[in-house]
Amino acid sequence: MNRSIIIFLLVAFTNVYSQTLELNTGWQFKLDRGTLCFDWQTVNLPHTWNDKDAFDDEQGYFRGLGIYQKLIFLDDEKSELIHYLKFNGVNQYAQVYLNGKFVGEHKGGYTAFSFNITPYLSFNEYNLIEVKVDNSHNDNIPPLDADFTFYGGIYRTVQLISVPKQHISKSDFASDGYSIDYDYVDNKKVRVTLTVNVNNLSDFKSSNFLKIILNDADKNKLIVHTEKLELLPNNQKKLKIKLDEIQNPKLWSPESPYLYNLEISLLDNSENILETNYSSVGFRWFNLDAEKGFFLNGKPYKLIGVNRHQDYEGFGNAVPIELQKQDIHLIKNMGANFIRFAHYPHSRELYDLCDRLGILVWSEIPIVNKVSNSKEYFETCLNMQKEHIKQYYNFPSVVMFGYMNEIFLRLAFDNKLSESERENTKKTSVILAQKLESLTRKLAPNRLTVMALHFNEMYNETGIADIPMLIGWNLYFGWYHDKINDLGSFLDDQHQRFPNRSIMVSEYGSGADTRIFTTTPKKYDFSLDYQFLLHKGYYNQVTKRDYVVGMAAWNFADFGSEFRGDAIPHVNQKGLVQYNREPKDIYYFYKANLFKDQPFIHIGTSNLRGLSLVNQDTYPVKIYSNQAEIEVFLNDEILSKTSVNNGFVIINFPFTNGSNDIFVKSGQISTQSTIDVHKTDNFQAMKINDRIGINIGAHFNFYDTENQITWLPDRVFTQGLYGHKNGEVYLANKDNHQGIPNNIKNTTAEPLYQTMLMACTDYKVDVPNGKYKIALFFVEPKIKSKDQNLYNLNSYNQSKDSHSKDRRIMDIIANGQLFIKNLNLAEEFPDKYGVKNSFEIDIRNNTGLEIRLKPIEGEIVISGILIEKIQ
């Protein structure tokens, strides 16, 4: 049940009531671009103006001023009430006006804020609400820099809260107006203290009652407590109420999320209810041990879960709440017991759902990557943490309040700073961390404080890692640096050097595109197969180390990051599910290891679209299950009866040419999948309308929705098939086997263009005689891209050659015929454009197709060949 819902009540005799109205429909909106001011349009909330421009081919997205207006009508009957206008999320700076008068401002895009608008209202007529929203960079408002898109707009609900003049406070940092503290919890008894702020905004003294009821999950009343209040005029009273001790409590945990229900009602002197607020209450206790990790209700408990960003494909951050709730259900159904809401507070409804489903929560504010050394910035950060703690304090699922993420990241990669500037930045960051830590411990004494660090020794050298109760290491061994198995050595080293520190792995992961699959996964190839290797490696290394509190995969879902130029530009693809929330195979690896409620089997073939086996008899398929043993059938014949270890098994399937049916069962459960396979060991069998696509320079298959084909991986030429006769793979980063990490303009087939062969002058495909349409695909790798990816950490300070134009001129010759003369990619295309050159050719005399790329100046590159037989 949602906490802080003010129930609509018509009270006999007094004719006063409390109500909350959502003001989400029929807003007028326009962007203000200075001299160009867009026309008004009608929008509904939630709303963002960056749901499209943050994903187009143009660099950047609009960060500036948007203006919202709405008319509301209030009749005279409501003139005796106090009216609050509450905004649950506006990114990032808001100014609110009512009937042309300035009401207030708010800094920060991820916490709620409210204003008492009663003095500005006119009754029995329409009132104009105007909200000016600005998501421009502001040195005094975090986040200053981050690997996610800063969508502008009013992207959460707006509410008009109308209450009697005596009411539970609505002005305490837009919080519930009360807090629930668990003074003591164990298996035998619980002691709870409530702190309630009650306002009297009338000009007269008021006598009231505060009634508190605690019910169990079956609605049985366990505690009924009534407090008599004498409220001074235009004043607030804070009450601390110790409830009766509760014996033999039912404890809350992810495995058994038992919730009690708390009702807090304010009554008038005649005991008529003025308002009632509801909160879920979960009795649990937790602590940290530097040797044994996290403890829940007195027992060791490994936290395994995910990070989550709030945006969604097609919506930006203005996501309908029901879609957001589906995320939490997906996370729970994966078997996770932990969520880090990164890097900012998310919608309160999701915390409520974590209470009910049983998921432990790390919640934090968005002080990310860097800080400003200004009084105003410090004040904004501290105020943001006050809002955060007060608004999210009463959720029993929340066990951690965080306040910084990778705060030295920009410092570590910025070589332009002087040594004194670097030292001042370190000192500023430590001072801010100390202030935030002190504030958090004061406001949330029964929660853990936490900070996330990136892979850098500065956190140890400055001592900032010793400030919070728990530190999370964001680690990308095997992705941005080093190897997957280096994770364990790093953790052991940190534990040995700092034995009194509690640590967890707060981020880890690898980018994965569901269009890419391979039998030879390599670092930074964006294949699902490499994602599997990395997550499996991390899971094994963390779970066997008791001192590691837990692990949170980065990320639950792919999310928007406009600056990125990965396999899908503007999207960070490290998700366990896609941007549209369709699970990737790695989701089922976790489900197989964590989900115990019911048996399941998943066959990992959903991404194997257009599978072609070239001179290959079998193909490995992963099968995920939480069962100990499975039976595997191919085309109605039993293939294997095998044990399942660590949640998966890999079966080499001897597929036949054409349609193949896979059937897997274990006991009473079963599942099946059908996959179409094309097998060939000689291209001489090519028929009319057959197409062959070759992803030159790539070791992986790539399913291309744009060209409706699966591109084959490259190979060295062998008779009867295809391949290059010379050249080498072009790598922007040789350690990571990385192609060019950039958005390729005018295409959605980035994995085709981002990989290429360099200095390849001869390429042959042994197709039979006939007439063919040939397309060759190119991109200039070294021209400076306008959207250079600052968040690809392994190339942040790399490649001066990427900032220059290389002259790369070539002639294209096919079977001795010159088709294209003096192709100069850098001269003809001012950015990284996907270039496609097509021609038709007759192949005779059983020569096959021979492509010659003749260098005129510089080293030539080529990314792909598409061959279609038309006669």
- Summarize the confidence of residues 198-214 as an average pLDDT: 96
pLDDT tens, residue by residue, 432-457: 999 999 999 999 999 999 999 999 99
In whole numbers, what is the pLDDT of the chain averaged over residues? 93
pTM of the predicted structure, to 2 decimals: 0.93
- Summarize the confidence of residues 176-183 as an average pLDDT: 96
- The C-alpha atoms of residue 849 and residue 502 are separated, in whole angstroms, by 62
Long-range contacts of 143-147 (CB under 8 A, 24+ apart): 143/343, 143/344, 143/366, 143/367, 143/368, 143/369, 144/368, 144/369, 144/370, 144/371, 144/372, 145/368, 145/369, 145/370, 145/410, 146/343, 146/366, 146/368, 146/369, 147/561, 147/563, 147/564, 147/572, 147/791
pLDDT tens, residue by residue, 553-599: 999 999 999 999 999 999 999 999 999 999 999 999 999 999 998 99
Token code pair at residue 45: 């909330």
- The C-alpha atoms of residue 341 and residue 307 are separated, in whole angstroms, by 6
Grade residue 8 by pLDDT with cuts at 50, 70 and 90: very low
- Residues near 602 by beta carbon (within 8 Å), at least 6 away in sequence: 585, 588, 591, 592, 623, 624, 625, 671
Predicted pLDDT at 871: 85
Burial 303-322 (b: 16+ CB within 10 A, else e): bbbbbbbbbbbebbbbbeee
- Summarize the confidence of residues 453-466 as an average pLDDT: 97
Confidence check: pLDDT of 687 > 90: no
3-state SS track over 348-396: HHHHHHHHHHCCEEEEECCCECCCCCCHHHHHHHHHHHHHHHHHHCCCC
Q: Which of 262, 272, 270, 267 is nearest to 217 (CA)?
A: 262
Q: Measured between alpha carbons, how far is residue 435 from residues 428, 438, 535 in Å?
A: 11, 5, 36
- Summarize the confidence of residues 716-721 as an average pLDDT: 95
Grade residue 12 by pLDDT with cuts at 50, 70 and 90: very low
- Summarize the confidence of residues 837-852 as an average pLDDT: 94
Burial 760-774 (b: 16+ CB within 10 A, else e): bbebbbbbeeeebeb
Token code pair at residue 116: 């008492």
pLDDT tens, residue by residue, 48-94: 999 999 999 988 999 999 999 999 999 999 999 999 999 999 999 99
pLDDT tens, residue by residue, 347-376: 999 999 999 999 999 999 999 999 999 999
3-class DSSP assignment, residue 871: coil
The proportion of the chain whose per-residue pLDDT surpasses 90, expressed as a percent, equals 87
- The C-alpha atoms of residue 182 and residue 193 are separated, in whole angstroms, by 7
Q: Which of 476, 462, 467 is nearest to 506 (CA)?
A: 476
pLDDT tens, residue by residue, 259-298: 999 999 999 999 999 999 999 999 999 999 999 999 999 9
Q: What is the DSSP string of 690-752?
A: -EEEEETT-SSEEEETTTTEEEEEP-B--TTSEEESS-EE--SBGGGTB---SPPBT-S-HHH
- Summarize the confidence of residues 837-859 as an average pLDDT: 94
Q: Which of 330, 175, 189, 177 is nearest to 249 (CA)?
A: 189
- The C-alpha atoms of residue 133 and residue 109 are separated, in whole angstroms, by 10
Predicted pLDDT at 238: 96
pLDDT tens, residue by residue, 498-532: 999 999 999 999 999 999 999 999 999 999 999 99
pLDDT tens, residue by residue, 798-842: 443 433 446 789 999 999 999 999 998 888 887 888 999 999 999
Predicted pLDDT at 652: 96
Predicted pLDDT at 35: 64
Confidence check: pLDDT of 17 > 70: no
Predicted pLDDT at 798: 44
3-class DSSP assignment, residue 416: coil
Predicted pLDDT at 39: 86
Element (DSSP H or E) covering residue 529: helix 528-543
Confidence check: pLDDT of 15 > 60: no
Its sign, for the CA torsion 570, 575, 581, 586, is positive
Predicted pLDDT at 401: 98
Predicted pLDDT at 782: 79
Query: Does residue 305 contact residue 594 with C-beta atoms inside 8 Å?
Result: no
More confident residue, 8 or 771: 771
CA angle 216, 219, 223 (to 5 degrees): 55
Burial 432-470 (b: 16+ CB within 10 A, else e): bbeebbebbeebbeebbbbbbbbbeebbbebebbebbbb
Grade residue 33 by pLDDT with cuts at 50, 70 and 90: confident
What's the DSSP call for residue 437?
H
The proportion of the chain whose per-residue pLDDT surpasses 70, expressed as a percent, equals 95
Confidence check: pLDDT of 788 > 50: no
Token code pair at residue 795: 């190339």
